[in-house]
Structure 1
Amino acid sequence: MKTTRLATTTVLLWLAMFGDAFAVSTNRVYSSGIFVLGFIAFCALVVVVQLIPAIMTLWGMLKGAADNAKNSAKAEAND
């Protein structure tokens, strides 16, 4: 049974290699225009502007966690 399944799988995969590839033709030059590029640039700007507060919040959380760990280590040393 395993031999039959292996042979069938091998033959089917071998036959699948000879099928047509449904790839896109690459002979067309990019010609979307300035408005599409401007829109993509605006979207990228929105993403970058939203990353700034996220990074600042993450930095504050890490500083707070480090200070908290430092204070708890001092409190344990005083006990």
Structure 2
Amino acid sequence: MKVLTVTTASLVMDGTQAMASPAATETAGLGLGAIVFIAFVAMMILFQLVPGLTMFFRIFKGIFSTEAERRAKEAAKNNRTSL
């Protein structure tokens, strides 16, 4: 137990010293992993945005369309004959 405590304490001390060094604050930009992650999140947002907007506009259209228009469209759809 004492060995585990000493090992953990030494790792924490070394980590905090490394993070406090000036070299640790100078980064060269985003890494490949960060770019892939950001691109993945952006693609998820885009692929969810298009169907969401489509559904929103259809709901909006359904709220403000008249009942007569709906019945006329339904009647035209039912009156079609197949060959």
TM-score (norm 1): 0.48
TM-score (norm 2): 0.46
**Higher relative contact order structure (alpha carbons within 8 Å, sequence separation ≥ 6):** 2
